[in-house]
Amino acid sequence: MEELLQHLINGLSLGSIYSLIALGYTMVYGILQMINFAHSEVYMMGAFFAYYSAKLLKLENSPSFTTLLIILFITMAMCSLLALSIEKFAYRPLRKQPKLNVLITAIGVSLFLQYVAQIIFGADPKVFPTLINDQLLFEVAGVPVKSFDVTILGVSVTAMFALHFLVYHTKLGQAMRAVSHSPAVASILGINVSRTIAFTFVAGSSLAGIGSILVGIKYQKIEPMMGTMIGLKAFVAAVLGGIGSIAGAVVGGLVLGVSEVLVVVYGSSQYRDALAFGILIFILLFKPAGIFGKNTIEKV
Amino acid sequence: MTSPLLDVQNITMQFGGLKAVDSFSMQISKGQLAGLIGPNGAGKTTVFNMLTGVYQPTSGQVVFNSKSLTGLKPYQISHHGLTRTFQNIRLFKNLTVLENVLIAGHQHIKYTWWDIMTLNKSFSLEEKALNEKGKQILNIFGLYEKWNEKASSLPYGEQRKLEIVRALMTSPEMILLDEPAAGMNHSETHNLMELIAKIRKEFNLTVLLIEHDMKLVMGICENIFVLDHGVKIEEGIPSKIQSSPKVIEAYLGVDSETH
């Protein structure tokens, strides 16, 4: 029982990271109807932004809550800038082109960033700076609760609530929802569509930046190829929840995280990645709209 | 004489080899209620699309409030105080009635992302004021009780009404209504006529409407423009339009016998 609880905590903290990244996929899909494959590379770059900013500010060996906050904000800002330039130079010129062109461009941007990162940062893994100490905080029913897990869950839950507030209680969020429904009508009503789309990229990539730091804290190892697998898993999480749905991305990420941990513990760690893709195939076969998605019929 | 609020100067819209609208001009002075009529495919909606920046005219220009609208995006034109509704209902179906209205009011709130992050007074006051204004405007049009319902759950007539209310929330000086009575029954059309007269008075609006319902057009418009095959064939007061041979010809065809 205690063991199971421990695994659940592990699964939730892994799942909340998937959720954070899945939110970026789902938001961009909601507003542009495209899968932004470069998102996983924004996440990867986020880890390096955090690594180098901690080095430059000489914060790599002074773990504290303040350190974590400073690095979080810098990384979010840098990831936003990166995503804004991707949107402006790679996607915006193609906005009126068929969706497939943008999709292929996204894959191109993703590969470009992966290899640029290998050239600049080197292909070898780097040790992520200790931003926060891993210590035993308290025990619940004999289960040790450590500060890593609390930080990861705390930061991601806060970020998700902030996103929820932004989308449902501010003019920016309402503009996002209006544009995702119909850019033409939103524009007639005075909403600057390009700016709203840019803002969606900022929000999604900030969450990816947060995710990259949490992964850095949890696994302490970063490398230029780290975005590929977690990006695919987060994409599966977004599809599982229903792509385009914000609640779906959160739930999808958590379900995926917990089931992955349970498979590793009670099955075999070899099936860890197979599970995610098994879920993807299963969802696409039996409920393509996902848990929270609405089944829309594509009009021809 | 003061310059007209809307001054359309020889706008032409060419799609490849097809001239959808050919050198169309019209002047509408402030406070007027004008109508744009014509047979199907005459180019009426194309004119609306050019006025609101959905299409850029191939040539000619649109001057609104003494400012040229040439090259502006739809949202910028909306900021200048010119807005429209659509022929087919284009509400944000999955959002609530109130949210539909609030979205249109956003251009008038000023808070920045910094105000959101710090959750300061400017943010909460402006959001609150906008909410109030939205509920107030819904109240005027008898939609207040349904503010929290999904827009798609409203009956057809109320959806059309909500579309007009939403456009009003942008605080326009002039509103373009594209077939506001389309698909309405007799009593709904009657209510709509009263509504248009009401918004014009209460919001001090200038109105231009496209309509097929001749009774509605002749009943409320002060000035009418008639388009046929992209060309303006007549303009003037309703009685002049009704007796114009060119208009009768355009609607009934040359060879048809008139009764």
Task: Look up the CATH number of the domain holding residue A89.
Answer: 1.10.3470
Does residue B246 contact residue B233 with C-beta atoms inside 8 Å? yes
Q: Which stretches of chain B drop beneath a pLDDT of 70? A: 1-2, 254-259
CB atoms within 10 A of CB B11: 24
Contacts of A292 (CB under 8 A, 6+ apart): A241, A242, A245, A247, A248, A251
> Which of A158, A188, A245 is the mutation pick for testing B, counting most B CBs within 10 A?
A188
Q: Is B33 exposed, middle or buried (0-12, 13-18, 19+ CB in 10 A)?
A: middle
Number of domains, chain B: 1
Q: Which domain covers residue B69, as residue numbers?
A: 6-252
CATH number at residue B143: 3.40.50.300
All residues of chain A having their beta carbon less than 8 Å from the beta carbon of residue B86 are: 185
Q: Which domain covers residue A200, as residue numbers?
A: 2-286
Does residue B259 lie within any of the structural domains? no
Does residue A151 lie within any of the structural domains? yes
Query: Closest to B75 (Cβ–Cβ): which among A171, A172, A191?
Result: A191
Does residue B88 lie within any of the structural domains? yes
Does residue A158 lie within any of the structural domains? yes
Query: Closest to B170 (Cβ–Cβ): which among A166, A177, A189?
Result: A189
Single pTM value for the model: 0.88
Is A157 part of the contact surface with chain B (CB cutoff 8 Å)? Answer: no
Does residue A257 lie within any of the structural domains? yes
Does residue B104 lie within any of the structural domains? yes
All residues of chain B having their beta carbon less than 8 Å from the beta carbon of residue A188 are: 52, 54, 74-75, 78, 83-84
Is A158 part of the contact surface with chain B (CB cutoff 8 Å)? Answer: no
**Given this model, what pLDDT does residue B41 score?**
84
The minimum CA-CA distance between A196 and chain B, rounded to whole Å, is: 12
Work out whether strand B33-37 and strand B67-68 pair parallel, antiparallel, or are unpaired.
Answer: unpaired
> Which of A166, A177, A185 is the mutation pick for testing B, counting most B CBs within 10 A?
A185
- One digit per residue, the tens of pLDDT, for chain A of length 300 reads 778 888 898 899 999 999 999 999 999 998 888 899 999 999 999 999 999 999 999 887 888 888 999 999 999 999 999 999 999 999 999 988 888 999 999 999 999 999 999 999 999 999 999 888 877 777 777 778 888 888 898 999 999 999 999 998 888 888 999 999 899 999 999 999 999 999 999 999 999 999 999 999 989 999 999 999 999 999 999 999 988 888 899 999 999 999 999 999 888 888 888 888 898 898 888 888 888 876 555 444
- What are the Cα distances from residue B172, in Å, to B31, B132, B204? 12, 18, 9
- Asked if A177's CB is within 8 angstroms of B75's CB, the reply is no
Does residue A95 lie within any of the structural domains? yes
Instruction: List the one residue out of A221, A67, A217 whose CA is nearest residue A146.
Output: A217
ipTM value of the model? 0.84
Instruction: List the one residue out of A209, A45, A35 whose CA is nearest residue A105.
Output: A35
- Asked if B73's CB is within 8 angstroms of A184's CB, the reply is no
Does residue B237 contact residue B49 with C-beta atoms inside 8 Å? no
- Asked if B95's CB is within 8 angstroms of A178's CB, the reply is yes
User: A176 in helix, strand or coil?
Assistant: helix
Does residue A217 lie within any of the structural domains? yes
Tokens encoding A289: 């709209």
Does residue B257 lie within any of the structural domains? no
Does residue A130 lie within any of the structural domains? yes
> Which of B56, B75, B94, B95 is the mutation pick for testing A, counting most A CBs within 10 A?
B75
Lookup result for tokens 């993703």: A110
All residues of chain A having their beta carbon less than 8 Å from the beta carbon of residue B84 are: 188
Range 171-200 of A in CB contact (< 8 A) with B:
171-172, 174-175, 177-178, 181-182, 184-193
Ordered alpha helix ranges (H), chain B: 44-51, 74-79, 97-105, 113-118, 121-140, 156-168, 186-202, 214-220, 238-243, 245-252
Does residue B135 contact residue B147 with C-beta atoms inside 8 Å? yes
Which helix or strand (DSSP H or E) is residue A126 part of? strand A126-127
Does residue A300 lie within any of the structural domains? no
Number of domains, chain A: 1
Query: Closest to B106 (Cβ–Cβ): which among A169, A185, A190?
Result: A190
**Given this model, what pLDDT does residue A96 score?**
86
Does residue A253 contact residue A18 with C-beta atoms inside 8 Å? yes
Type of residue at B126? E
- Spatial distance between the Cα atoms of B6 and A122, rounded to a whole number of angstroms: 62
**Given this model, what pLDDT does residue A295 score?**
56
Does residue B1 lie within any of the structural domains? no
Does residue A199 lie within any of the structural domains? yes
Does residue B85 lie within any of the structural domains? yes
Does residue B258 lie within any of the structural domains? no
All residues of chain B having their beta carbon less than 8 Å from the beta carbon of residue A166 are: 116
